[in-house]
Amino acid sequence: MAERKVSVEAEVGLHARPAATFVQTAAKAPFDVSIAKAGGRPVSAKSILSVLALDVRQGEAIVISADGEGAEELLDRLAEIASTV
């Protein structure tokens, strides 16, 4: 299983537009993708409600995990979305 630890830099955290973009990108994957706050319980990165419920704020670290063909490339894209201001 591949994973990335990323610091969320968006001023609003992983809410609203950044969360929607993140979930839409994850949902395109034909395999499971999860997200968690550092040290927390992972949830589906394909569920907008689950991602919003994490209440990720600016400066907090998240861990994104995926397992499948193309997981590394997907994680790179998701990390870029999460770390973009």
Active site residues per annotation: 15
Cα distances from 77 to residues 12, 20, 53, 57, 81, in angstroms, run 19, 14, 22, 19, 6
Closest to 77 (Cα-Cα) out of 6, 14, 15, 12: 6
